Amino acid sequence: MAHLFNRNILLGVSGGIAAYKSAELVRQLQELGASVRVIMTRGAQEFITPLTLQALSGHPVHTDLLDAEAEQGMGHIELARWADLLLIAPATADILARLASGRADDLLTAAALATAAPRLLAPAMNQQMWRDPATTANVATLTARGMAFVGPASGEQACGDIGPGRLVEPAAIAEAAAALFEDGLLQGRRVVITAGPTREALDPVRYISNHSSGKMGYALAQAAVDAGARTTIVSGPVQLPAPDHTRVIAVESATQMLDRCLELLPECDIFIACAAVADYRPAATQAQKIKKGPEQISLQLVRNPDIVATVAAREQHPFTVGFAAETRDVVAYAREKLQRKGLDMIVANDVSDQSIGFNSDVNEAVVLWRDGEQALARTGKSTMARQIVQLIARHLDQGLPDRPGRDDSRK
């Protein structure tokens, strides 16, 4: 069954009579589980009011390229980063032409250029406009640039003509949007992902931890599910709903997380260590609450096990992906960890940047492997998760690196 759970859909409504169907489209997208925000062109506002779509979506409708109320007045950038998909419905002949020529002089076209998310267009126009060579050329140009189309349908049009150019029904558009996230890249693979922080107990009420929200790990789990994988999350304490079709195993400490991961390895093809595991834990956990006493006390810490290195060192180990949260020399430190821990791939990001660090909904990273690397531009964590999954799938298709103990029989 198609779904859009945990997906952010940016709906662009351009100026055609079919704009009235955008109200039903918002409802259909929400029924599939999506969070929807709307951009309306000036022409679209002549056919349906922003207030209608605001009431249905639960969010203010965006209409202006330069928004004084947006962060830094750059509303198109904020929306572009938020979106997991830009869906334009209806997409008029005019908006197709403007997109094909790279225009960015209104909010919708600027967002279309600024987003790293997939773009899905649902054309709606007069049948002769759809058949015109200029429109045909624009559709070919946009398709070549990676934009997807749904429709148009054929039938009687508002002007009385009969032919292709009708907007596809909202339910079919929503299904097409959902299908973009179901790519089958990891069909049949078994994926284990660690996510969130660990908590290392000092006593029954206190612990050592970090600021990890688990958002990146849970986004990766959703991307793995959408790619067809059987996905298990070994999760530290987070305040996030489990993605649909995943199995979540809750843990607290690093040693608990390691134990659960090792239990899952016999049924694991891909291991992604996204959790922010505490490097140290108290040497002793007090059975009773530590009472206030002297002005200073000393706390003795011992090293926690390195989960991803332990997994990578197993004789029969899965394709192993680590994460490196650094505050300086990000790529250099990540490359060293990749080699020292024997990983297949590592994702490095700069957590000193508060806008992409812990608890943020966006991220920016560099993915490294033995003989290459790829920078991932700042975007929403869901979009980045799909990009990482695509890179993993590409490396699996090309054959696993030749490492001691590698078992390629599962390919």
Q: What's the rounded mean pLDDT across residues 279-300?
A: 88
Q: What's the rounded mean pLDDT across residues 378-394?
A: 90
Pair 391, 227: CB distance under 8 Å: no
How far apart CA 171 and CA 155 sit, in angstroms, is 17
Give the domain ranges of the chain: 8-179, 190-410
**Comparing C-alpha atoms, which of 198, 241, 189, 187 is closest to residue 219?**
241
How far apart CA 80 and CA 108 sit, in angstroms, is 10
Q: Higher-confidence residue: 160 or 36?
A: 36
Averaged confidence pLDDT in the chain: 88
CATH placement of domain 190-410: 3.40.50.10300
Which of 159, 261, 268, 274 is catalytic? The answer is 159
| pLDDT tens digits, 249-283 | 999 999 999 999 999 999 899 999 999 999 999 99
Q: Higher-confidence residue: 195 or 378?
A: 195
Q: What's the rounded mean pLDDT across residues 321-349?
A: 91
pLDDT of residue 378: 85
Q: What's the rounded mean pLDDT across residues 1-10?
A: 77
Residue 38 pLDDT exceeds 70: yes
pLDDT of residue 12: 95
Q: Higher-confidence residue: 1 or 105?
A: 105
Residue 109 pLDDT exceeds 50: yes
Say whether 190-410 and 8-179 share the same fold: yes
Q: What's the rounded mean pLDDT across residues 206-229?
A: 91
| pLDDT tens digits, 180-192 | 886 678 988 999 9
Q: Higher-confidence residue: 248 or 244?
A: 248
Q: What's the rounded mean pLDDT across residues 357-369?
A: 83
Q: Which CATH architecture has domain 8-179?
A: 3-Layer(aba) Sandwich (3.40)
What is the DSSP annotation of 126-180?
-HHHHHSHHHHHHHHHHHHTT-EE---EEEE-TTS-EEEEEPPPHHHHHHHHHHT
Q: What's the rounded mean pLDDT across residues 344-362?
A: 79
Annotated catalytic, 159?
yes
pLDDT over 70 for what percent of the chain? 91
